[in-house]
Amino acid sequence: MRISTKTRYGVRAIFDLAYHCSGTSAQVKDISKRQNISQRYLEQIFHRLKKAGIVKSERGPKGGYILTKQPKNITLGDIYRAVEKSFDLVPCKTRKGNKCEQYDECVTMPIWHKISKDIEKIFDSITIEDLCNIASSKNIPRDIENKYMYFI
């Protein structure tokens, strides 16, 4: 199984919101810069994350994206499902009404189903808070202190 860039970048973007913004909004350009991800590609990913209810957008000068839940309540599985739709490893499993010719006699299909479910359980056991804790333990500096500085 390979993890797509959409999933990897989605996880990094949600981690960035949780770690660097602590409940405030962030603009895609800032996340893009910190995570070294194309701003355009990140917008497409955020569109899916917003549709899934993981983030919401705020308009205005201090606008951007903000998490809809606490980092401890967002799992890698939530992000994966938002951008990939399904954990099914084989296409015959995901087709509805268009079964593979061997579907009824297939001896490997139950194995692929079990592996898919096991992978999904692992993804659902890891939270964004876990990633924030890893970042803290690695002493990765947080960018929250530089959020809004105004000089008059």
What is the tens place of the pLDDT at every residue in 52-102?
999 999 888 777 899 999 999 999 999 999 999 888 888 775 445 566 777
Q: What is the CATH number of the domain that holds 58?
A: 1.10.10.10
In a domain, 99, yes or no: no
Model confidence at 22: pLDDT above 90: no
| Domain interval for residue 24 | 5-85+127-142
In a domain, 47, yes or no: yes
Q: What is the pLDDT of residues 95-134, one digit of tens each?
A: 455 667 777 788 888 898 899 999 999 999 999 999 999 9
If one counts every other C-beta atom within 10 angstroms of the C-beta of residue 150, the result is 4
Could you tell me the pTM of the whole model?
Answer: 0.85
In a domain, 50, yes or no: yes
Diameter over CA atoms, the chain:
74
CA 113 to chain centre: 23
| Contacting residues for 117 by C-beta, under 8 A, at least 6 apart | 87
Tokens 């603009």: give the residue. 27
Q: Report the domain count for the chain.
A: 1
In a domain, 97, yes or no: no
